[in-house]
Structure 1
Amino acid sequence: MLVVRRSTVEDTVGSQRDWEPVGFIGVADAIRPEAPETVRRLHAVGIERVAMLTGDNRAVAEQIAKEVGIDEVYSELLPEQKVDIVRDLVRQGPTAMVGDGVNDAPALATASVGVAMGAGGTDVALETADVVLMSSDLSKLPFTVELGRRAARIVRQNVVFSVGVIITLVLLTVVAPFFIDGFVMPLPLGVVGHEGSTLIVVANGLRLLAMRAEKVAV
């Protein structure tokens, strides 16, 4: 924005020649302080590409991407164009979309995982997303990635362990008598085996409570 002043004061109307420029006032989007570190940590936890999809003009978008460390920039986009780009990225591999506005909702629904920023997010974005962060702190994103991965690992561990225990109990009950004369699995052993495995599975799942955001990808 151009700032000017009157060079003459003889009349109250004046013309364009009565004004002279004294400076400029620029207005720009402020980059969140945690954004560069968040992108670095996302790369550290194994995220190969971080892309920005925005409706802003190319010059502004590229400057922000350069300062933050974003790998790819898609600028001057309409909501439907965001959907097309996200759909193309999903074809290349699992893709997470982070957004908080009404315009982000279709892309959130298209992504493999939609993440909405809860504090400033619109109702449409919150309802569409698969994951909702209850704050606008971008630094929570790397923690969310690691939490999801660890939760998936623990689920797989629990499934394998539970199925293994059940198969063992079935073999002892049905198969063992064919090889061991007079063998009958004691009922208490079956109860302890089944219920004990349940307690172990629950205890294994509780390990997720020990995770702390500050310990992820520092």
Structure 2
Amino acid sequence: MTGAGLTGVVDGRTVRLGRPGWLNPGELADTITGMQQAGATAVLVEDGGRLIGAIAVRDELRPEAVEVIDRLRRSGYHVSMLTGDNHATATALAEQAGITEVHADLRPEDKARIVAQLRDQRPTAMVGDGVNDAPALATADLGVAMGAMGTDVAIETADVALMGEDLRHLPQALDHARRARSIMLQNVGLSLAVVVGLMPLALLGVLGLAAVVLVHEIAEVIIIANGVRAGRARPLPPLTTTTDADTTPAPETVSVG
């Protein structure tokens, strides 16, 4: 049952497994509330129309998650969580990670709709690894899939796939892209300045052909050497304990699915 759970037949009895709301929690309502407040997703099991138990499924935060959120914020990104988990579970995990904006109980089409809304406000990147993240990855200005642990459809839909399981590759890649863009603009500006400067000097005869060629070739060497810097990747720093992050909204958004 899409977005609800599973049904099957065991020894002639109908068995259902799914989320609260689709199945009546009954006397386990308080237990399920405790599971959700602890950051777990509750899955109910019903056998022959009788509720027989609940299973708590919990996504554990990776040890570097808090540091990654902190680095993203300090780099000027506004971070939002988009998840299919219930609000209680999503809020508990978001608090541990340091995320203040949470969108929960989302289906794939809901994630894509929210990403589209965020795009109307600022350039938006979507980070995800599951099948449910694919529509949002395609909708965002930049789709980023965690390649080592992502599904095939998420990797194929995303614009960038980060290989490896260390989440710190994400802020590293974003910082590297910004640095490479800055170097590119430096080279374009220097190239235009050299050409614009040499043209009148050559036309007025201030510099001869040999001097113009020499200056042009020297500028090319400088531009190439500067461009080589864009290919350098800095190693990841050691995993450290995070500090309080700057929560001021910034002109770009990273949504985590």
What TM-score comes out, normalization by structure 1 length? 0.78
In the alignment, the residues of structure 2 paired with residue 192 and residue 129 of structure 1 have an alpha-carbon distance, to the nearest angstrom, of: 45
Please give the residue correspondences for 1:83-122 in structure 2 after superposition, counting only pairs within 5 Å: 83-122=112-151
In the alignment, the residues of structure 1 paired with residue 59 and residue 186 of structure 2 have an alpha-carbon distance, to the nearest angstrom, of: 45
Amino-acid identity (%): 51
Letter in 2 for 1:34: E
In the alignment, the residues of structure 2 paired with residue 107 and residue 154 of structure 1 have an alpha-carbon distance, to the nearest angstrom, of: 31
Secondary structure of 2:117's aligned partner: helix
State the partner residue of 1:31.
Answer: 61
Gaps of 5+ in 2: 1-27, 29-53, 243-257
Q: Is the 8 A contact 2:202 2:208 kept in 1?
A: no
State the partner residue of 1:197.
Answer: 219
Q: CA RMSD in A?
A: 2.3
Cα distance, 1:210–1:85 mapped onto 2, change above 3 Å: closer
In the alignment, the residues of structure 1 paired with residue 199 and residue 63 of structure 2 have an alpha-carbon distance, to the nearest angstrom, of: 58
In the alignment, the residues of structure 2 paired with residue 56 and residue 25 of structure 1 have an alpha-carbon distance, to the nearest angstrom, of: 14
In the alignment, the residues of structure 1 paired with residue 100 and residue 117 of structure 2 have an alpha-carbon distance, to the nearest angstrom, of: 16
- Give how far 1:190 is off: 2.5
State the partner residue of 1:144.
Answer: 173
> Which structure has the bigger radius of gyration?
1
The structure carrying a bigger strand percent of its residues is 2
In the alignment, the residues of structure 1 paired with residue 102 and residue 81 of structure 2 have an alpha-carbon distance, to the nearest angstrom, of: 5
Gaps of 5+ in 1: 3-23, 177-182
State the partner residue of 1:213.
Answer: 236
In the alignment, the residues of structure 1 paired with residue 141 and residue 65 of structure 2 have an alpha-carbon distance, to the nearest angstrom, of: 22
In the alignment, the residues of structure 1 paired with residue 233 and residue 161 of structure 2 have an alpha-carbon distance, to the nearest angstrom, of: 20
The structure carrying a bigger helix percent of its residues is 1
Q: Is the 8 A contact 2:84 2:106 kept in 1?
A: yes
1:119-140 CA deviation, whole Å, 9 max, x = no partner? Answer: 1222322222222211121112
Letter in 2 for 1:38: V
State the partner residue of 1:69.
Answer: 98
Letter in 2 for 1:159: V
1:86-129 CA deviation, whole Å, 9 max, x = no partner? Answer: 01111111111101122212211211211111112223222222
- Give how far 1:145 is off: 1.9
